[in-house]
Amino acid sequence: MRTALFCHSLLSDWNHGNAHFLRGIVTELLRCGHEVRVFEPHDAWSARHLVAEYGPGALTWVQNAYPFLTSTRYFPDIDLDTALDGIDLVIVHEWNDHALVARLGALRRRRRFALLFHDTHHRAVTRPREMAAYDLSDYDGVLAFGDVLRRVYLERCLIQHAWTWHEAADVRVFYPHADSDRGGDLVWIGNWGDDERTAELNELLLE
């Protein structure tokens, strides 16, 4: 199967935790023998901040853990017809511009490929107008990171089909390293910041 993934960034995980899960998805598809093309905006803010803080070489850091991952950094006027030539499945992550989401839907009307919207956030609940502005009328379905989110899409008639597709860390990369010289009593794996669950984490974990 030939798959294309449109995401905010595969190269940078600067304040962009989804990159970890997306890298794992691409890795799994490749290891199963599928062809994968990844597209990300050339000026993705996560990549810009990473370079500003650590220098241009920071964008190659991901290759240490994922030497086989590649990404095409595209401009807004990308020729989608050419980019998706021969593609069977297109997955569009929810951190994409509304215009790109709509353009891919329009292309789906005249091209034969499966088109799925991948939602790994809670904006459909907390910012419903923002998410309702995405034109998913030509999409085949939504891959939602939780069952509650899946039901939101169906109950609000935002899409006809939706499936629960949980996020997960890639255990080929994220596992205890016996030779690590880093000490400590706790390893935190999860979301942090933006005042989301900060009080609960302070009360139940840190304090």
Q: What is the pTM (predicted TM-score) of this model?
A: 0.88
- In the prediction, which pLDDT does 10 show? 95
The Cα 50–Cα 168 span in angstroms is 23
* Cβ partners under 8 Å of residue 141, min gap 6: 116, 117, 159, 160, 161, 162, 163
pLDDT at 175: 83
Interatomic CA distance for residues 159 and 4, integer angstroms: 21
**Separation of alpha carbons 205 and 207, rounded Å:** 6
Contact predicate 23/170, CB 8 Å:
yes
| Pairing between β-strand 35-41 and β-strand 141-144 as defined by DSSP bridges | unpaired
- Alpha carbon distance 164, 184 (integer Å): 35
Q: How far apart are CA 33 and CA 78, in angstroms?
A: 27
**Residue whose pair of structure tokens reads 């008639």 in the numeric block:** 157
How many C-beta neighbours within 10 Å does residue 186 have? 6
User: pLDDT tens per residue, the chain (207 residues)?
Assistant: 999 999 999 999 998 888 999 999 999 999 999 999 999 999 999 999 999 999 989 988 888 889 989 999 999 999 999 999 999 999 999 999 999 999 999 999 999 899 999 999 888 888 888 888 999 999 999 999 999 999 999 999 889 999 999 888 788 888 877 776 777 777 776 666 666 678 888 888 888
With H, G, I as helix, E, B as strand and everything else as coil, classify residue 60: helix
Written as six digits, the tokens of 108 are 């789906």
Beta strands in 42-195 (DSSP E): 72-74, 89-93, 114-119, 141-144, 162-164
The C-alpha atoms of residue 47 and residue 9 are separated, in whole angstroms, by 7
In this structure, what DSSP letter does residue 171 have? T
